[in-house]
Structure 1
Amino acid sequence: MEEIIVTVAAALALGMVAYELRVPPLVGFLAAGFFLHFLGFTAFAGLQEVSDLGVVLLLFTIGLKFDLRSLLQPEAYGTAALHMITVVLVGSGTIGLASVIGVISLHGGLGTVGLLGFALSFSSTVLVVKVLEDRSDDGSYYGQIAIAILVLQDLAAVAFITIAGEESPSPWAFALVLLVPAAWVLHRLLDRIGRGELLVLFGVVMALGPGYVAFESVGIHGDLGALAMGLLFAGHPRSGELSKSLFSVKELFLVGFFVVIGLQAAPSWSDLGMALILCAVLLPFNFVSFYLMGRLFGLRNRTSIRTSLALSNFSEFALIVVAVGVGNGVFDNSWLTITALAVAVGMIASSLANARSLQIVARLDAVLPSENEARLRPTDRPLDTGDAEVVVLGMGRIGRGAYERFVDLGARSVIVIDNDHAVIDALITDGFTVLEGDATDHEFWHRLVVGGNAHTVVLAMALHDSNTFALDQLRIAGFDGTIAAVVQRPDQAAHFNQSGVHAVVNIYSGSGAAVADAAMNTQQR
C-alpha cells in the first residue's frame, strides 16, 4: 500500500507543479516516473495493468468519436505512408551514423537499423488524442486527420507485432467479423442502459470483453479490438454520452501510463545521449515532414502546422516494437531504455509545444508563403460568413442557447461556427445555419471584419484560451461591433472585462439566452 500511496502522491504533486507552470499535467506525470525511478522505486503490482486499461479505454473512446471516412482521404493515408517511409530512412541513417562514430554500439546490419527506424516512425496515440481532447479539437478537421493518421500507423504497428510475434493469429480470427451483426444487439442493449455508473460499466465491459479480450484470444493485439469496438458504436445516438461517461475513469488510468513510461528508464550516459540525438534529429524532421505532406495534399498552412504539432512525437508502440525485436534477439536490451527515454522526452517536448500551439501557428502562418485557395481541399478553404450579422463561435449548451435566443429576438441573419464535424452534421439536421471551421484562424477574422456584415460576435468556445485568441484576432482585424463571451471562472471574467468585452456571462450562472440578451442590450445602449 505504501508504494501505491507514494506513486499517486508523486504524480499528484508533480502534476500540480506542471499545471502551475502552465504546461500539461502529463509532463508532471512523466517527471514523477523519472523521480520515483531515481529514488529506487519500481512499478507497484498492478500499475502496468492500470496503464494498459487506460490505453484500452482511450482507444475505445477514439472509436466512439471517429469518422471512418477520414481514412479514405488522401491527406490521411497518403501522409501516413509517405511519412513512415521518410522517417524510417532518416531514423535508420541517424542510428547508423551514431553507431559509426561510436555514440552507441549496434550489432546487426541494415535490417536492425531499419527496424529501429520503423519503431520511431509512429506518433503517440495516447498523447495526441489527449492533447486534442484537452483542446476540444478531437472532432475538428485537423484533429480527425491526425487521428486517421494515428489509426493507420497503429494498424501498421499491430500488423508488425502480429507477424513478428511468437504465435500467428488463430484461424478463429476470421470469426471476429461476427462482431458486426452482433453490434445490433449491443446497440439495443445500450438503448436500455441507464446513466451514471451503469453506463460507465457498460463502456468498460465493451472495451475489454468483445473488444480487447476477443481480439487477444485469437492472437491479434487487443488494443486494436478496443478501437474496433468503439467504431462499431460510433453511429449510436448515445456514443457521445458514453464517451463522456468514461472520460474521468480513462484520465485516471492514463496517469498510470505516463508514470510507467518514466519508471521504465534506467539509462547510462550513452543511452541518454543517443535518445537526445534521436529527439534532436527526428522531432524537427517529423514536424517539417508532416507540414510539407499536408501542403502536398492540399491543406492550408495552419491546418498542416496544427496537424504537425500534434503528431511530432514518438509512440508508445515504439516500445512494443523494440521489445519484440529484443525478444527475437535482433538488438540489445539497451535499445529498450533508449527508446523509452526518446518516447518520454518526445512527449514532454510535444506537450510543451502544443500548449502554445495557437501562438506558434499564428507566427508561422504569418511568414509562410500564401496558399492558392483554388488548390486547397474544399473542406479546408477559408470561411466566408457572407451576410451574417450575428456570429456565434462554439455550439455547446451556451452557444446553442445564444443562437436560438438571437433568432427569437428577430436577428436577421445568425450563423454558428464550430470545428466538430459530428456536431455540425447534427445541427444541420436540426435546421441550424452552421459552418465548419477554426475560429482561431486569423484569416477568418480578417474576412469577417473587412468583407462581412457582422455586428455581433459571441465567443462561446469550450476553452478560454481559444476565446482569448479569437478576441485578440478581432482586435487586430479592427472589429468595432459588440463582443459577448462565456467564461468559467471569475479571473477569466475579469480578464475579458478589462479587455473591453461588452458582455461577459459565467457558464455556471448564466445561459445562452442570457448571453444573447446581454449582447442585444449592449447594442441598444
Structure 2
Amino acid sequence: MDFLLLCVAFVCGLTVKSLGLPPLVGYLLAGFALHFLGVQPSAGLDTLADLGITLMLFTIGLKLKVGDLLKREVWTSTLGELGFWCVVCVGFLLTLASIGLPYFADVSLNTAALLAFAFGFSSTVCIVKLLEDSGEMRTRHGRLAIGVLVMQDIVAVLFLVFATGKIPSVWAIALLALPLLRPMLNRLLDAAGHGELLPLTGFFLALGGYELFSLVGVKGDLGALIAGMLLSRSSKAAELSKALLGFKDLFLIGFFLSIGFTALPTLGMVGIALGLTLLLPIKFLLFYGLLLAMRLRGRTAWLSALALANYSEFGLIVADLAVDLDWLSGEWLVILALTVTFSFIVTSLLYARAHSLYSHNKTWLTRFERRERLPEDVLTQPKDAQILVVGMGRVGMGAYRALHQLMGRGVWGMDADSSRIHRLQGEGLAAFVGDGEDADLWEHLDLSSVQLILLALPTIDDSRHVTNQLKRANFKGQLAAIARYEDERQLLIDAGIDKVFNFYTEAGTGFAEESLAMIGQRPEAAGQ
C-alpha cells in the first residue's frame, strides 16, 4: 500500500509539473484521488508529515535572524492583517448564516470569530516550498514573508494555550536560557563533519528541540524553529540546510497527501470551499496595503502579499479543536481541508507568474508607493562598474575574487541576501543588495559602463529571468552564466546568454591547469 501512495503521488506530481505547475499541487490532488478510490493510508503517513513540518521549521530557523522578527513591517503587518481580516470575515460568515446557507445555520458569533481567526493565518508549508523552489528565501520579500509566518506561529502558540487551557510547565521558563547553548551546538555541528553524520545531526537537533518544548508543555514545532535559529550564525548553517533539503521535501509529500485523507467531500462542501477561496483577494489587499503603508516598495509589497494570500494548515488544527468542543460540526473539517487545498493551488499558480505579472502591471502596483522608503528598499547605484557578478554564493564569490585581483574596483558583486552583502562590504569589497529578477532594479541602474555581467545563480530559471529583464533594460554588454548540466547549457544559450560555463567541466579544467602550474608546465605545452 505504501508503494501505491508513492506511485500515485509520483504520477500526479510529474503530470502537474509537465503542465508548468508546482508538483505540490499534484500531491494534493493525489491525496483526494486515493481517498476517493478507498485507499487507506498507513499509520506512518502522519509520522512522515509531522517529520517534514518539523524539519521545515528547523531549516527556516537556520536562515532566520532575530532582527527580522523585530522589524516594524513584520509585526505590524501580521497583527494588522489578523485584526482587519477577522472583522471582514466574521461579517461575511454571519451574513451566510443569516440566509440559512447549508453548514452555516448553526454558526454563531463565537464560531464565526473562531473560523475567521483560523482563516487569517497563511500556510508556512506552502509559502516556504514556493520560496525555496524559486530560490527566494533570502530575498527582501522572502525574508519578510518568513518573518510574518513566524510571528503568526507565535500567535498560534498563544491561542492554543488559552483555547486548550493547557498552561506550560513552570520549567518552560528555563527555555529562556537556550541561547547559552549556542557555542556548544556550534561545536557539535563542526564535529559532525561533511558526511552522513551532518544530516543525522540535523535530525537530532530538530527533533530534540521539538521534544524539549513538548516536554514543558509548549508547542513542539516552535522548539524545532528555535533550535534552527540557535545555529543560524554557524558557518555550517547553509551546508546543514542543503543536507536536509532532500529529506524535508520527501517527508512533506506525506503532509500534502494527508490533507486529502481528511474526509470525502460532497458537492456542497466543494461549493462552500470555493466560495471561501474567493475571499483570498481581500487577504492579499490587506497585506499589500499594510506593507505599502510601512514604506515598502510596490514590488516587495506585491510579492510578499501574493505569497501570504492563502489559508494555513493551522486552520485544520483550530477546526479539529472546535469540533472536539462541539462548536462546529465534523463536516467543517472537510470544508477547511478543501479550502486550504484550493488556496494552495491558487497561490502556486499565481506565484509562478509573480514577476511577469508585476512587470505587466507595474504602473498600477507602484502608484500607491510612499515617497519615503525604508533603508532596505532604497536601490543602490554601483560606481564605475565594468563587470557585475550577480549571485555571491560560492561560485560567484570565487569568480568575483579572481576578477577583483585583475581589475580592482571595476568589479562589483550583487546578491539578494542583505546579510551576505553586509559581510562583504565589511571586508571592503564592492558589493550591493539587489534582486536580479527585480525589473525596477535594472531600470534604475546605469549600465552604460558595464561590459560584462556574470550570472552565478542557483537555477537556470533565475538566469533566464534576469536575462529577460536585462533585455528590457536594453543592456548592450556581454552575458555569461553557469550551468550544472549539459541540457541546461543549451537552454541558457537559447535564452540569449553569450557564454555558458558548465560548472563541473570548468571546475575540472581549472583544477588540471592549476595542477600543471605546480610542476612548471603550461596547459598548451602539455598538449604538444
The TM-score range, normalised by the shorter chain, is over 0.9
Please identify, of 219-228 and 389-398, the stretch whose mean Cα deviation from structure 2 is larger.
Answer: 389-398
Q: Which residue of 2 aligns with 1:485?
A: 481
8 Å Cα contact 1:54/1:254 also seen in 2: yes
Which residue of structure 2 aligns with residue 77 of structure 1?
Answer: 75
Contact 1:397 1:512 in 2 (8 A): no
Matched, 1:158 2:157: yes
Aligned-partner SS, 2:310 = coil
Q: How many Å separate the matches in 2 of 1:178 and 1:467?
A: 44
Give SS of 2:341's match: helix
Corresponding position: 1:398 with 2:395: yes
Instruction: State the Cα distance separating 1:186 from its structure 2 match.
Output: 2.4
Deviations 1:395-452 (A, max 9, x none): 12332222123223326511111011332234334443211121112222123346x5
Root-mean-square deviation (CA), in Å?
2.0
Counterpart among 251, 255, 258 of residue 257 in structure 1: 255
After TM superposition, the structure 1 stretch with the greater mean CA deviation from structure 2, 339-348 or 436-445, is 436-445
Whether the aligned pair in 2 keeps the contact of 1:77 and 1:149 (CA below 8 Å) is: yes
Cα distance change of structure 1 residues 373 and 454 upon mapping to structure 2, 3 Å threshold: farther
Kindly state the Cα deviation for residue 486 of structure 1 after the two structures are TM-superposed: 2.1
The C-alpha deviation readout for 1:4-55, integer Å capped at 9, x for no partner, is: 1100111111111122111111111111101101101132111101100100
Question: Residue 288 of structure 1 contacts residue 308 of structure 1 at CA under 8 Å; is this kept in 2?
Answer: yes
What does the per-residue CA deviation read over 1:333-368, in whole Å, with 9 as the maximum and x for residues that have no partner? Answer: 111111111011101111111111211221222333
Q: Is the 8 A contact 1:200 1:245 kept in 2?
A: yes
**Secondary structure of 2:445's match?**
helix
Residue 513 of structure 1 deviates from its aligned partner by 10
Partners of 2:440 and 2:28 in 1: how far apart? 37
Task: Report the Cα distance in structure 2 between the residues aligned to 1:494 and 1:441, rounded to whole angstroms.
Answer: 24
> Relative to structure 2, which stretch is displaced further, 460-469 or 75-84?
460-469
**Residue aligning to 2:455:** 459
Alignment of 1:245-284 (within 5 A): 245-281=243-279, 283-284=280-281
Instruction: State whether residues 31 and 261 of structure 2, in contact with CA within 8 Å, keep that contact through their aligned partners in structure 1.
Output: yes
Provide the C-alpha distance between the structure 1 equivalents of 2:198 and 2:353, rounded to a whole number of angstroms: 35
Asked if 1:414 corresponds to 2:411, the answer is: yes
Correspondent of 1:316 among 313, 316, 321: 313
Residue of structure 2 in register with 1:357 after alignment:
354
Cα distance in 2 for residues equivalent to 1:284 and 1:123: 13
Q: How does 1:152-231 map to 2 (within 5 A)?
A: 152-165=151-164, 167-209=166-208, 211-231=209-229
Q: Which residue of 2 aligns with 1:520?
A: none
Query: Aligned partners of 2:496 and 2:231: how far apart in 1?
Result: 45
Structure 2: distance between partners of 1:389 and 1:299: 30
CA pair 56-349 structure 1, distance change in 2 beyond 3 A? same
Whether contact under 8 Å (1:395, 1:417) holds in the other structure is yes
The structure-2 alpha-carbon separation of the partners of 1:358 and 1:152, relative to structure 1 and needing over 3 Å to count, comes to: same
Shift of 1:85: 0.8
Conserved in 2, the CA contact under 8 Å of 1:103 and 1:274? no
Structure 1 residue 89 displacement after superposition: 1.6
Say whether residues 1:473 and 2:472 are aligned partners. Answer: no
1:358 to 1:463, Cα distance in 2 relative to 1, 3 A: farther
Q: 2:439 matched to 1:442?
A: yes
Which stretch of the first structure deviates more once superposed, 26-35 or 413-422? 413-422
Would the aligned equivalents of 1:402 and 1:512 in 2 still touch at CA under 8 Å?
Answer: no
Number of equivalent positions: 509
Secondary structure of residue in 2 paired with 1:440 = coil
**Aligned equivalents of 2:366, 2:189: Cα separation in 1:** 50
Q: Distance in 2 between matches of 1:472 and 1:63?
A: 33
One-letter code aligned to 2:130: V
Q: Distance in 2 between matches of 1:9 and 1:93?
A: 44
Query: What is aligned with 2:127?
Result: 128
- Cα pair distance change 1:493/1:367, threshold 3 Å: farther
Mapped partners of 1:465, 1:367: distance in 2:
26
Decide which moves more: 505-514 or 120-129: 505-514
Equivalent of residue 304 in structure 2, options 296, 300, 307: 307
Q: Give the aligned residue type for 1:392.
A: V
**Are the counterparts in 2 of residues 66 and 231 from structure 1 also a CA contact under 8 Å?**
yes
* Structure 2 equivalent of residue 518 of structure 1: none
Tell whether the 8 Å contact from 1:67 to 1:144 is kept in structure 2 after alignment: no
What per-residue deviation string (whole Å, max 9, x for no partner) do you get for residues 367-408 of structure 1? 334466751111112232232111111112332222123223
SS of 1:510's equivalent? helix
- Percent same amino acid among aligned pairs? 38
Contact preservation (8 Å) 1:400, 1:512 = no
Alpha-carbon deviations, 1:434-488, whole Å to 9, x = none? 11121112222123346x5212111222122222122122222221111212233
CA deviation digits over 1:122-155, x for unaligned, max 9? 0001111111111121111111111110011111
Greater displacement, 193-202 / 49-58: 193-202
1:230, distance to aligned residue in structure 2 (A)? 1.0
Counterparts of residues 5-24 of structure 1 (less than 5 Å): 5-24=3-22
Partners of 1:103 and 1:270 within 8 A in 2? no
Q: In the superposition, relative to structure 1, how do residues 421 and 42 fare at CA in structure 2: closer, same or farther (>3 Å)? A: farther
Q: Comparing 438-447 with 407-416, which one deviates more in the overlay?
A: 407-416
Distance verdict in 2 for CA 1:123–1:72, change over 3 Å: same
Are the aligned partners of 1:180 and 1:232 in contact in 2 as well (CA < 8 Å)? Answer: yes
Q: 1:136 to 1:513 in 2, by over 3 A?
A: farther
Report if the CA contact (8 A) 2:299-2:365 is conserved. no
Aligned in 2, Cα 1:496/1:322: closer, same or farther, shift over 3 Å? same
Please tell me the residue identity of whatever aligns with 1:70. D
1:32 is aligned to 30
How far 1:232 moved relative to its partner?
1.3
Shift in CA distance, 369/64, structure 1 to aligned 2, threshold 3 Å:
closer
Matched, 1:68 2:72: no
Structure 1 residues 151 and 412, CA gap change in structure 2 (3 angstroms):
closer
What letter matches 1:459 in structure 2?
A: L
Unaligned runs of 5+ in 2: 511-528
SS of the residue aligned with 1:508? helix
Q: Counterpart of 2:260 in structure 1: which amino acid?
A: G
* Contact map agreement 1:401 1:513 (CA 8 A) in 2: no
Q: Please, which runs of 5 or more residues in structure 1 have no aligned partner? A: 515-525
1:166 Cα deviation after fit: 5.1
Deviates more, 1:382-391 or 1:252-261: 382-391
| In structure 2, distance between residues paired with 1:184 and 1:369 | 45
User: Residues 248 and 96 (structure 1 numbering): CA distance in 2 closer, same or farther, change over 3 Å?
Assistant: same
Q: Secondary structure at the match of 1:215?
A: helix
1:508 to 504, 508, 522: 504
TM-score (norm 1): 0.92
Q: Is the 8 A contact 1:161 1:324 kept in 2?
A: no
From 330, 333, 355, the equivalent of 1:333 is 330
Contact 1:63 1:230 in 2 (8 A): yes
With over 3 angstroms needed to count, the CA separation of the structure-2 counterparts of 1:373 and 1:284, relative to structure 1, is closer
